[in-house]
Structure 1
């Protein structure tokens, strides 16, 4: 499992890890999960479909979501897989960082709308 320590919080390192068992990349502070980005894996298309990203409010404003996204997308690239950004945060990150365009399969507007409706109906994908 790849790990990166991209930031510090109150002098503690914040680690980023791939938790394949839960199908998500996580931000961890002293072993506690403080944020994540979830995905589904489509083996037939070799795609990781990112569906939701969140960071605990106590850690907001520190750029941790951006570091989480970069770590996750770099890991997808290193595995030779493709990205499908249904998650609004991951989609926005890719727009701001076009270096990931070569491994991105953009979802259609219908797919995005269906995903957003399903997430709203479920009360968010936590």
Structure 2
């Protein structure tokens, strides 16, 4: 199954793509993945838990992470699901955009700490 493309800027080759097979939303430049926000789906709670966001350094400073976050959260909200921002970027983005708070279940400090420890352990294993 091919990824599901949702939006592309006119005049730009940067597209936002929902790739449910990889459980992430992607930024693509001419088909090349240049960024993504990864999630886990909790079906029993109808929640999309955002766990990690990154954009290639070559594309930094162009507002693409914000574009990605807005698209992903709009898509989740339109599907009637709840947003859990474990990812520090998504959590900070939601705080700057309070119009999304009606669809957000903020994680507890304990959940954030556990997530951060798991991320650090995974980063250590990949070295």
TM-score per shorter chain, which class? over 0.9
> Which blocks of at least 5 consecutive residues in structure 2 are unaligned?
none
Task: Tell me the equivalent position of 1:42.
Answer: 42
So what's the TM-score if we normalise by structure 1?
Answer: 0.92
8 Å contact from structure 2 (residues 15, 27) kept in 1: yes
User: How many pairs align?
Assistant: 122
Q: Which 10-residue stretch deviates more, 12-21 or 74-83?
A: 12-21
Task: Tell me the equivalent position of 1:88.
Answer: 88
Per the TM alignment, residue 79 of structure 1 is displaced from its structure 2 partner at its CA by 0.4
8 Å contact from structure 1 (residues 26, 37) kept in 2: yes
Distance 1:113 1:53 in 2: 17
8 Å contact from structure 1 (residues 7, 64) kept in 2: no
Distance 2:39 2:10 in 1: 23
Distance 2:29 2:49 in 1: 25
Per the TM alignment, residue 13 of structure 1 is displaced from its structure 2 partner at its CA by 1.4
1:3 matches 2:13: no
Distance 1:56 1:115 in 2: 22
Question: 3-state SS of the aligned residue for 1:123?
Answer: helix
8 Å contact from structure 2 (residues 47, 84) kept in 1: yes
CA RMSD of aligned residues (A): 1.6
8 Å contact from structure 2 (residues 5, 15) kept in 1: no
Provide Cα deviations, 1:84-115, integer angstroms capped at 9, x if missing partner: 00000000000000011001000000000010
Distance 1:6 1:92 in 2: 24
So what's the TM-score if we normalise by structure 2?
Answer: 0.91
List aligned pairs for 1:19-98, cutoff 5 A.
19-98=19-98
Q: Which runs of 4+ in 1 moved over 6 A?
A: none
More helix by share: 2
